[in-house]
Chain A
Amino acid sequence: MSATKVKSTKKPLTGNEAIAEAMRQIKPDVVAAYPITPQSPIVHTFAKFVADGVVDTVMVTPESEHSAISVVTGAEASGARAMSATASQGLALMVEVLPATSGLRLPVVMAIANRALSAPINIHCDHSDSMAVRDLGWIQIYSENAQEAYENMFLAVRLAEHPDVLLPAMIMLDGFIISHGVEVVEVYEDEVMHKFVGERKPKFSLLNYKEPWTMGPLELTDYYFETKRQEQEAMKKAKKLYIEIGKELSEITGKEYGYFEKYRLDDAEVGIVVLSSAAGTAKDAVDELRKEGKKVGLLKPKLFRPFPYEEIRDALKHLKIIGVLDRSYSFGAYAPLYAEIRNALYDLDKRIPVQSYVYGLGGRDIFKQEIKEVFNELLEGKVSSEEKCIGLRE
């Protein structure tokens, strides 16, 4: 972690509080969210900011997540900056609207406290909720800890609202593990952070009645394809701009905002790829194995949509063996992250064996020891086409 370039305060915050803190500094015009475990404290904390007059946001408390996402979509179409937050079944209930928000090119930013999907009902962390919606035109950024979640919110607002992008974004943080865990978060100055996101400058707004636009028409066989092609282009631009905006953010925080974080990877022979909070635990595992002289490293993707295939390929191409850890299934198919990593490596002349691991479903704990065992297994060259499970009882 390099030095902060502006004044900052360290605060003990839960991940949810860190998200609410970012929202307080962003000062969205409209927030609409329906409470769901483990996201609820985001709504509670922000509602208190509103109640105390700390922010001037119009807070809407709809009767469902479907309405919550509809409210923020309507608000964004009206030129406002609008935000929401949800998890699991709540995100699933929003699914009907998610592609409409992106299709309408409305840069809503929403935090997701990752939680397993029913059934069986489970309130704990896995990535099945956000992975299920990965192809609906939303930018997706995964956070390792509360600090990253906080910073990603600012990056997401700028990226989503960029005139060349105009796509909604979701920021993921691991439910309970991060959402409810208290950690030390470095919070930067209010004015600096607000200035970083600035005010939203919408190109189209329903409230600009002097220039009336029809938003969300019916497009049939003759135009739907063209409109969707634009969305794909916006994703391409988002990928490029993520780095540019990240550089601007790093002017404030002194940190780097790459597509991914590499940890002792460059001189490694065996690497694992893992998202979010488990990456932190995995770093400790890497350090311990390095002490034993084992050449292991880690790659933690942050930007998942758009997916940085070329850059990830270049970061992994020197490895002899790779393990990919997914916290969700893609039923009947390769696990989501694993599938992307395999894809990214396809263009290499040399084929690198990649082993798929699934872990942590429904909040099943993942221990450093288990990750070390994964590394050791990979170091022994144990790779198969079978998807393996970590911490599962046979």
Chain B
Amino acid sequence: MSEKVKWSEPKGWKEIPIGGNLPAKTSLEYKTGSWRTFRPDFDPDLCTHCMICVHYCPDSAIPVVISEEGVKGFRDRIYKGPVRLETDFEYCKGCGICAEECPTDAIKMVRETWED
């Protein structure tokens, strides 16, 4: 079964693979971001890209890219190599570990409004 299958649509017994077998990472269709009551407000200008929040995020919801040219962050320095991007709000459950562990207070938890 190809990965294009929309797993969120209910399927009949003849359609699904046998034995409950599932192809990889179908959970990407399941957006746990809707669980959030607080959201991490990330200020890139305060970020040292230390990667602590990345490792500790329970949902791997903080994307990392390898940047050759670097990005501007804490104290206007340029940070190269692995740099974090904005939180992936499709999956972030808003636990606040990132804010708690951030050594430069670059993340603050704010009430989720769900307005956008």
Out of A214, A223, A233, name the residue touching B16 (CB < 8 Å): A223
A120 at the interface (CB under 8 A from B): no
A interface bracket (residues with beta carbon within 8 Å of B): 20 to 34
Total of A-B residue pairs, C-beta within 8 Å? 54
B102 → A minimal CB distance (Å) = 33
**Which of B10, B16, B19 has its CB near the most chain A CB atoms (within 10 A)?**
B19
B111 → A minimal CB distance (Å) = 32
**Which of B14, B20, B22 has its CB near the most chain A CB atoms (within 10 A)?**
B20
Inter-chain contact B18/A213, CB cutoff 8 Å: no
B11 at the interface (CB under 8 A from A): yes
A104 at the interface (CB under 8 A from B): yes
- Chain B 1-57 interface residues, beta-carbon cutoff 8 Å to A: 10-14, 16-24
User: Which segment of A37-45, A224-232, A248-256, A272-280 sits at the interface?
Assistant: A224-232
| Chain B 59-71 interface mask (CB, 8 Å, partner A; 1/0) | 0000000000000
- How distant is the Cα of A347 from the Cα of B17 in the complex, in angstroms? 35
- Chain A 204-221 interface residues, beta-carbon cutoff 8 Å to B: 204, 211-217, 219
- How distant is the Cα of A234 from the Cα of B14 in the complex, in angstroms? 12
A217 → B minimal CB distance (Å) = 5
Inter-chain contact A204/B13, CB cutoff 8 Å: no
Out of B19, B23, B24, name the residue touching A227 (CB < 8 Å): B19
A146 at the interface (CB under 8 A from B): no
A105 at the interface (CB under 8 A from B): yes
Residues from chain B with a CB closer than 8 A to the CB of A104 are: 19-20
Selected A-B contacts with CB under 8 Å, 18 pairs: A104-B19, A105-B19, A204-B21, A211-B23, A213-B17, A213-B21, A213-B23, A213-B24, A214-B21, A215-B21, A216-B20, A217-B22, A223-B16, A226-B12, A227-B20, A229-B13, A230-B14, A234-B18
